[in-house]
Amino acid sequence: MNRHELIDAVAATTGGSKTSTAEAIDAILEAVTAAVIRGETVQLIGFGSFSTGARAERAGRNPSTGETVTIPAAKTVRFTAGKAFKDAVNAG
């Protein structure tokens, strides 16, 4: 499902217009993104939680040359599925 299909599905479920639904979805995504950038955890009970993690610097290998390369440390985004979401996926 892509963004437009999500907007269509939500608009059909709520009976709202596609324009207002798109604005609401965009606002939700912006709020989640901003909170995670600030280092906060966003918990959507029954769905899951978004948080930040850290990946340490590590050694890697260039597959074409075999040369050892240092992969720099980076922040990551973590998503942990909630119980209700996991149960729904496993039931289907």
Q: Could you tell me if 92 and 58 lie in one domain?
A: yes
Q: Could you tell me if 56 and 45 lie in one domain?
A: yes
Q: Could you tell me if 67 and 80 lie in one domain?
A: yes
Q: At what angle do helices 3-14 and 18-37 cross, to 10 degrees?
A: 120
Percent of residues, the chain, with pLDDT higher than 70: 100
Residue 35 contacts residue 52 (beta carbons within 8 Å): no
pLDDT band at 92 (very low <50, low <70, confident <90, very high): confident
Across the chain, mean pLDDT equals 96
Q: Could you tell me if 69 and 49 lie in one domain?
A: yes
Q: Which domain holds residue 29?
A: 1-39
Model pTM score:
0.79
Q: Could you tell me if 30 and 63 lie in one domain?
A: no
Non-local CB neighbours of 22 within 8 Å, separated by 6+ positions: 7
- Alpha helix locations (H) across the chain? 3-14, 18-37, 83-91
Residue 48 contacts residue 75 (beta carbons within 8 Å): no
Tokens 């059909």 appear where?
12
> Number of folded domains in the chain?
2
Q: Could you tell me if 61 and 22 lie in one domain?
A: no
Q: Could you tell me if 7 and 26 lie in one domain?
A: yes
